[in-house]
Structures are given as C-alpha cells and as structure tokens.
Amino acid sequence: MNRVGRLAVITLLLGLFALPVSASSGAALGGEGNLEALKLITILIIQLSLILLAAKVGGEICERYLRQPGVLGELIVGMIIGPYALGSLIRIPLLAGPLFPLPEINSPVPVSRELFAFAQIAAVVLLFMAGLETDVRRFIRYGMTAAIIALGGVIVPFFLGVSITILFGLATSIRDPLALFMGAIMTATSVGITARVLGDIGKLDTPEGVTILAGAVVDDILAILALAIAVSLAGEKAGIAYTEITLVTLRAIGIWVGLVAAGLLLSRQIEKILGWFKTEGSVLALSLSLCFFAAAIAELFGLTMIIGAYAMGLALSNTEISSRLEDALKPVYHFVVPIFFVVMGMMVNFRAMGTAVTFGLVFSLLAVFSKVFGCALPALGVGFNRVGAFRIGIGMLPRGEVALIIASIGLASKVIQSDMFGVAIMMTLATTILAPIILVPAFNLGGPGCRREL
C-alpha cells in the first residue's frame, strides 16, 4: 500500500474512533433532540447508500444477463436486503441495532418513516416524468376508451375477490367487510411499475401505453369507491352510507379533472414564468415544486400523490419547455426512482405469506386472471386487436403499493388480520413480478395494437 493509501486508512480509522466523541460534542451543543435527529439522518444516508448500490447491481444483472427489465432486479434486491430477509442481520459498526430492523407486529410499513417518505417522493418523480412523456392530446383522445377498460378491470377483480373470500368460508356474504376489503385489494392498479417499464422501452406514448396510464387513473378513483364502501361497512354504521360514498367519488373525480384542467389552462403561463428564470437548474427546481404541490393537493383530497404528479406532468407535456425539462429531470430520475422499487421489494414479508398459503395462491391466480381479462375483453370491444388488448391487460396487472395501502387500512381497522395481510402481500408480489416479465415480450411481438384508428 502506498503512502496515500496508508494515510487514507489512518484517517478513516481516526474518524471512526472520533465519532462517539463528536456525537457527545453534538449533544453538548445541540441537546439530545438534535443528537437523535442526527442519528436518524446518518442511518438514512447509510440505508440509501446500500439501496442505491443494490439497485444498480440488481438492475445490471437483470438487464445484461437475464434480459429482463431493470425494475425487476430492483424489486428482487429489495426483498433480499429488506427487514424480513437479510436486512435485519446487516449491522453497521457504531450504530445500535440492524440497518433494517424488523417492524412492529402487524406494521403495514416495514421500513422507517424517513425511508418510506423518500420512496414516496421517488414515486412522485417517476409519475411526473411519465406525464411529461405522454402526449396530452392523445391522452384526452383515449380517455373514454381507458375509462371503459378500467371499469372492466375493476368490476371483475372486485367480484372475484369478494366471491373467493366467501367460497373459502372466510366471509358470510357480499356485505361482509372482510369480503369487501379483499375485493377492494384486488381492484387497484399500481401505475408506477408499468410506467417505469413502458418508459424504459419507449412505449409510454403508444395507444396502449396512454390507455394503460389513463386507465390507472380511473382505477384509482374506482378503488377509492370500493374502499369507501368497505370502510363504511366496517364502521359502526349498519348499512352503506351512500351519500358519503357518492361525495367521496365525486370529490375524487372533481379533483382529478380540476388538476388536469387547471394545468392545461395555465400551462402557457407556467411556461413563460419558467422561461423567465435564467439561472442554472431553475426550470427543474420550479417544475418539481409544481409537481410536489399537485401531488400534495391530490393526496389531501383523497387521491394518491402519484396521480397529482402525473396530472402536472401531463399538463406541462404540451409546452415547448417539456423536452428541456425531461433532459434536466433524467439525472434526478435515475437517482431516486430505483429507491422506490427497492423499498417496494422490502415490503414483502415472506413469513406472513405462509399462514394462508392455499387461499393466497388461489387469490393471486384470480388477481392475475381478473385484471388481464377484465381489461383485455373491453379493450377488444373498443378497437384494440388481440395483441393490443393483451398488452393493456398485462400493463394493468401490477397492484404494488396501492393494494398494500388498502390492506393496511383494513389491518388498522381490524377487519383484516395478519394472515389476510400476508395474502395481500403474496398477490402484490406475484402481480408486480409478472407484469414486467411479460410486458416487454408483449411489446416486442411488434405490429400495431389497434384494429383501427381510435
């Protein structure tokens, strides 16, 4: 080892031994509260360091050697380094406890709040980018088509989810809150995974890609409706609060339409304001500011943040500044988005899956069948051919974080127990992994997906 190398090692060792002293000094200067905050930040930084390394290694292996989308590798390494696998065994010197400790019993989110929040920001950036890459005129043109397809992709999974829960003797009737929650878990589409795959293969702006993204928006609204019914019956009320559910649905639709309409109406003014700034990075920072604001508005009014981010990206996609913004956003995208998918993989609890294996396998199989055929059959009726309908069905397949959010609400309200939460995890894992594996070959088949111009 040369002189420079020896000096570097000595400096690192001195830094490690000096860390407790520095921490004590920090406590003296800033108090125990600041010390605790500093510790949380340090742990988060180390977690992000390992997550980024694992994400890139997993993505590289999948793309280079397995010829699969990189997102699949990111999900798999998340399962490996997550708290339910090796994460609870990984220990860093000078830090108390494992790097990814096991969560509390029945906790719906197995990672720290800080890491989960970072992952949600990454999801917002992902959908903002997807919106920018979508032709808004084509989106509007396929809007009604997507709504019809999404309706089939919600009704079929919902009733199959309810029916199988009753057939297995876990619920007594269609009005049983457990049956309704299991049906609601089946309905939602996690557009983040599909958007990532379509973006990687350059198919976001195809008729199928636009229809999938538009359909996922409708899915989100319909999933809120299904969830509202389940929550209503799980509460103290004897029946369904139809007025409340109607208001929830109308509010969700109104907020989505309002966000898109406001963005489109103000897009030229926004473009002029962004163009006024000349300092480096201003356009990117201000656009992300608008994206985060739209995401927060959507979340506050009952929609998911990613839907608000997509609406803002869609509004700005029609401006001359969109291509410049896409180029500026790519480094941020490649930094944060893999974190989201690794964290998604970390949510897979293999132990929870084992308590209701038979029901979980049947439930997962029906989840695949119901979404693919529930979306593909209406797609055939509105002008897509068999290839295009198959692509749409597979694109709408992944449930991802949306299903886990619905399941966690059921868990918190004590309608769903840990075994049914494990079933939701199993179904989420199956649909999330299958979608990218099948979607890329489906688009590689070539040829148009429409029988006629829609």
Lowest mean pLDDT among 6-15, 158-167, 367-376: 6-15
Lowest mean pLDDT among 27-36, 142-151, 208-217: 27-36
What does the pLDDT average to over 61-67?
Answer: 85
C-alpha 148: how far from its chain's center? 23
What is the average pLDDT score of the chain? Answer: 80
Lowest mean pLDDT among 9-23, 104-118, 237-251: 9-23
Range 39-54 burial, b when 16+ CB lie within 10 A, else e: eeeebeeebbebbeeb
Does residue 239 have a pLDDT over 60?
Answer: no
The predicted structure's pLDDT at residue 293: 92
Q: Give the pLDDT band of residue 281 (cuts 50, 70, 90).
A: confident
What class has domain 113-444? mainly alpha
The predicted structure's pLDDT at residue 231: 67
For the chain, give every domain's residue range: 113-444
Instruction: Name the residue with higher pLDDT: 21 or 171.
Output: 171
Residues 6+ apart with CB under 8 A from 421: 106, 108, 352, 407, 408, 410, 411
The predicted structure's pLDDT at residue 31: 57
Does residue 433 have a pLDDT over 90?
Answer: no
Residues 6+ apart with CB under 8 A from 370: 156, 157, 160, 161, 186
Does residue 96 have a pLDDT over 80?
Answer: no
Among 36-45, 151-160, 238-247, 279-288, the range with the most confident prediction by mean pLDDT is 151-160
Please tell me the distance from the alpha carbon of residue 345 to that of residue 72, in angstroms, as a whole number. 9
The predicted structure's pLDDT at residue 368: 93
Please tell me the distance from the alpha carbon of residue 359 to that of residue 355, in angstroms, as a whole number. 9
Instruction: Name the residue with higher pLDDT: 277 or 413.
Output: 277
Instruction: Name the residue with higher pLDDT: 410 or 26.
Output: 410
The predicted structure's pLDDT at residue 142: 81
Instruction: Name the residue with higher pLDDT: 197 or 182.
Output: 182
Quote the pTM value. 0.75
Q: Give the pLDDT band of residue 163 (cuts 50, 70, 90).
A: very high
Q: Give the pLDDT band of residue 61 (cuts 50, 70, 90).
A: very high
